Amino acid sequence: MLPKYKRILLKLSGESLMGDKNFGMDSNVIAQYAQDIKQVTEMGVQVALVIGGGNIYRGMNEAETGIERAQGDYMGMLATVINGMAVQSGLEKVGVYTRLQSAIKMEQVAEPYIRRRAMRHLEKGRVVIFGAGTGNPYFTTDTAGSLRAIEIKADVILKGTRVDGIYTADPEKDPKATRYEKISYSECISKKLSVMDMTAFTLCMENNLPIIVFDMNKPGNLLSVVTGEKVGTLVSN
């Protein structure tokens, strides 16, 4: 079984690490993700990771938190580094070599983000985890994922979520919602389907970078996606 993609960027939400909890992270979820990532790296696939911080802190709503938006966003960036360290630990426990790179300098815990160095790590078979978003407030980790994927010349962005693709409506609210197997960027925009935030989505569209939205919580799904099975929803031109 040969992989369809040589280099992938896997985008995970911070909330996905919570499992059934209301806050923080579930060690069982991290262990499952680590095994799934290990499976694809053993096939020779180069894996980069971007993880959100929503399980620890969401800095978006100034009115609710009383914290200025830019300050809140920096707090969110630090949360992504905490998540990155947790996933790094999970990966190293199963024998996967990793590097954590941060867009905000914190030499004691992470390398600074340097594009060429990141690409070299990937070539050597290490999983590279990109922390601290883009390093700028007002940008989401979706945008960080799109930006890093384009910078490192990834073949595809794999957006691991709790649902198994993009639906005509919210499948958790509408039982009649049907899943798209593939859809174009322009269709997503015209149908107002929220795949990623608009900045992230436009970056992918302009650089012709395909996105696959799939259920990361089902063990083995990542391997299925990487080997080209029809899992989730493909967004492309």
- Which DSSP string corresponds to 59-99? ---HHHH-S-HHHHHHHHHHHHHHHHHHHHHHHHHTT--EE
C-alpha span between 73 and 53 (Å, rounded):
10
Residue pointed to by tokens 């980069």: 48
Residues 6+ apart with CB under 8 A from 202: none
pLDDT given at position 219: 96
Fold held by 7-236: Carbamate kinase (3.40.1160)
**pLDDT over threshold 90, residue 5:** yes
What is the per-residue pLDDT across 54-68, written as a single tens digit (0 to 9) for each?
Answer: 999 876 678 888 899
**pLDDT over threshold 80, residue 178:** yes
What is the per-residue pLDDT across 6-18, written as a single tens digit (0 to 9) for each?
Answer: 999 999 999 999 9
In the chain, domain spans: 7-236
| pLDDT range class, residue 138, cuts 50, 70, 90 | very high
pLDDT given at position 187: 93
What is the per-residue pLDDT across 89-122, written as a single tens digit (0 to 9) for each?
Answer: 999 999 999 999 999 999 999 999 999 999 999 9
